[in-house]
A and B are shown apart, each in its own frame.
Chain A
C-alpha cells in the first residue's frame, strides 16, 4: 500500500526554522518526483514546490512566494523528502502536504497525499 506521512510540524516563532519530513512507503521512492503543497486555514491549495527523481536530475522547482526560504530535498536511501523552512513568516501558517507526483520532469498530478502536518508561525 502506497503511503506518504508528513511529520515535523508545530508552533514556531517568526524568523525561526523548521524542517518537515515526508516518509514514503509502498513504492520505489527514487523513481518518483515528490511535491509539497500547503493550505492556510480556511483557504485554498497552494503549490510549494517539487523535486524531480534522480533520473531527471533530482532538481527542484519552488513557488516564487517561498523561493529562497523554503527548500525541498530528498534522501532516496531513506525514502524521505524534506521541506526545510527558514525565516518563517506568519503567512507560512498552513497545513503542509507531501505528495507523490505522477510526472517526471514537469510534474503532473499528485496521486497520493499525506494527512498533512500543521505549521503555525506565531510569537
Chain B
C-alpha cells in the first residue's frame, strides 16, 4: 500500500488558519470514513487530533477540524498558535485491512 500524500511543509502566522491535505485513493481515504490525524512535537509521542475523519477526542481544542472530499482528507487549524508548530500526520484504513500513513507535514508558525 502506497503512502498517503501530504505537503512536506506549510506555514502560517499566528491567528491565521491553515489546511493540510492528505491525498489517497479509493482504496483508502476515499473508501472509508476512517481517517485520523496526529500531531507530533520533536522528541515526543504523537497525539491524536482527529479520528473517523472529523471526530475530536475529548481534550483536543476545537481549533482543529477534519473533513474529507473524495480521495482527499484535510486537517484545518484555525487561530494558529505558536505551540501548533509541529509535524502532522494523516492515516487511513485501507482495503487490505491495514492502515497507511502520510509522509508528514511540518507546520511552521511564522
Contacts and interface: CB of A to CB of B under 8 A. Distances in A.
B46 A45 contact: yes
Contacts of B99: 47, 50, 107
Given A47-B91, A116-B45, A107 B104 contact: no
Nearest to B47: A113
A56 interface: no
B51 A109 contact: yes
B101 A44 contact: yes
A55 interface: no
A111 B57 contact: yes
A119 to B, nearest CB: 16
A84 interface: no
A107 B45 contact: no
A102 interface: yes
A63 B98 contact: yes
Interface string A101-115: 011001111110111
B36 interface: yes
- The CB with the most chain B CB atoms within 10 A, among A37, A64, A108, A116, is that of A108
B36 A115 contact: no
Contacts of B96: 64
Interface string A54-95: 000000011110000000000000000000000000000000
Interface string B68-110: 0000000000000000000101010100111111111000000
B1 A64 contact: yes
Interface residues of A, number: 24
A114 B47 CA distance: 10
Contact of A108 (B47, B51, B89, B100): B51
Contacts of A111: 48, 51, 57
Nearest to B38: A45
Q: Which of B91, B96, B99 has the most CB of A within 10 A?
A: B99
Contact of B36 (A46, A61, A63, A108): A108
B34 interface: yes
A105 to B, nearest CB: 10
Nearest to B103: A44
Contacts of A32: none
B46 A108 contact: no
